[in-house]
């Protein structure tokens, strides 16, 4: 598994992360097998959130790995906070309480990365900065980031932070390419030219903020997988053609497409199937040519200007 530097930090991690959102209701033995498969194939980064399974995903993870100081260093653990029932909450009190809850459920005394989960328009950046300072000084959190934020939201937050944002987790896949579309259709009066994200891709590259791609196999907003979906025959034909030529499964090609971008995007794979995860990890053995990347992009229904 290839490694990437996360943001402008000393954190060096696998280019694929295991997303743990769906493990809450899995048998402990299956979760342990999934995590072992991840480790065996070079994945050392594990993505959580306080709301995944209502907190149970963190508990199940800790139980599955028999979390204790001797095994803790095997894992780079990331969790998120800020989403509450019916509203968002970036208050100092909630951030501190949320981290304490995650630490308790994960049975660890520190989190490698804490992300703010979705923007809170009522955010007071000074209050967030104070919470981050407390967490960092206490050793509870080592690095910080955000999820689903645009450049100006990150600029506002970073103005007050001593410990700058190193990650922005964004939805990105072959079928969710808004941050790329606008950059390819500059100066055009067509739908793909609309810049909805404030050039977030270029901003993150300029500021050394690692983009993490969530839902790499989904189209729309959790509308379902696009792979093996009869709604997208041309796309799947092209992906399967390239997968066959390279001797990998189609999900590996979907990840390879993301990793081919020079932004050095880290992909969050949320599969709970150990065999599929092993096959996805074969992406480190292959690479897409420029021509193949654009063939897949066009097969997804995109037109180049």
- Tens of pLDDT along the chain (305 residues) come to 999 999 989 999 999 999 999 999 999 999 999 999 999 999 999 999 999 999 999 999 999 999 999 999 999 999 999 999 999 999 999 999 999 999 999 999 999 999 999 999 999 999 999 999 999 999 999 999 999 999 999 999 999 999 999 999 999 999 999 999 999 999 999 999 999 999 999 999 999 999 999 999 999 887 899 999 999 999 999 999 999 999 999 999 999 999 999 999 999 999 999 999 999 999 989 999 999 999 999 999 999 99
* 110 assigned to active site: no
Going from the N-terminus, what domains does the chain have, and what CATH number goes with each? 3-299 (3.20.20.100)
| Predicted local confidence at residue 161, as pLDDT | 97
List the one residue out of 15, 14, 4, 70 whose CA is nearest residue 44: 14
Active-site residue among 52, 203, 219, 297? 52
Nearest to 61 by CA among 32, 25, 40, 100: 32
Burial category of 126 from C-beta neighbours within 10 Å (exposed 0-12, middle 13-18, buried 19 and up): exposed
Partners of residue 210 on adjacent β-strands: 167
Q: Which two tokens stand for residue 5?
A: 């530097």
């Amino acid at each position: 598994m290839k490694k990437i530097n996360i943001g402008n930090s000393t954190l060096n991690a696998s280019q694929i992360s295991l997303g743990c959102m769906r493990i809450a209701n899995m048998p402990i033995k299956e979760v342990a097998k999934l995590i072992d498969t991840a480790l065996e194939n070079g994945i050392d980064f594990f993505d959580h959130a306080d709301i995944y399974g209502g907190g149970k995903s963190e508990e199940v993870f800790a139980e599955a790995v028999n979390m204790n100081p001797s095994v803790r260093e095997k894992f780079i653990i990331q969790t998120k906070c800020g989403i509450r029932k019916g509203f968002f909450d970036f208050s100092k009190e909630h951030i501190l309480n949320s981290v304490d809850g995650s630490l308790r459920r994960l049975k660890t005394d520190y989190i490698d990365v804490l992300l703010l989960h979705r923007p809170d328009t009522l955010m007071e950046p000074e209050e967030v900065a104070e919470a981050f300072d407390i967490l960092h000084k206490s050793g509870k959190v080592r690095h910080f980031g955000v999820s689903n934020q645009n450049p100006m939201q990150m600029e506002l937050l970073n103005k007050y932070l001593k410990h700058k944002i190193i990650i922005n987790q964004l939805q990105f896949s072959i079928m969710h390419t808004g941050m790329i579309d606008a950059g390819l259709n500059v100066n055009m009066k067509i739908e793909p030219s609309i810049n909805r994200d404030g050039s977030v891709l270029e901003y993150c590259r300029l500021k050394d903020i690692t983009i993490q791609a969530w839902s790499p196999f989904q189209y729309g907003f959790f509308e379902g997988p696009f792979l093996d979906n009869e709604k997208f025959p041309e796309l799947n034909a092209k992906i399967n053609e390239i997968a066959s030529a390279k001797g990998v499964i189609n999900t590996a090609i979907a990840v390879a497409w993301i990793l081919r971008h020079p932004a050095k995007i880290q992909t969050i794979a949320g599969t709970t199937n150990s065999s599929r995860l092993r096959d996805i990890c074969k992406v480190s053995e292959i690479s897409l040519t420029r021509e193949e990347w654009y063939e897949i992009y066009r097969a997804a229904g995109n037109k180049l200007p």
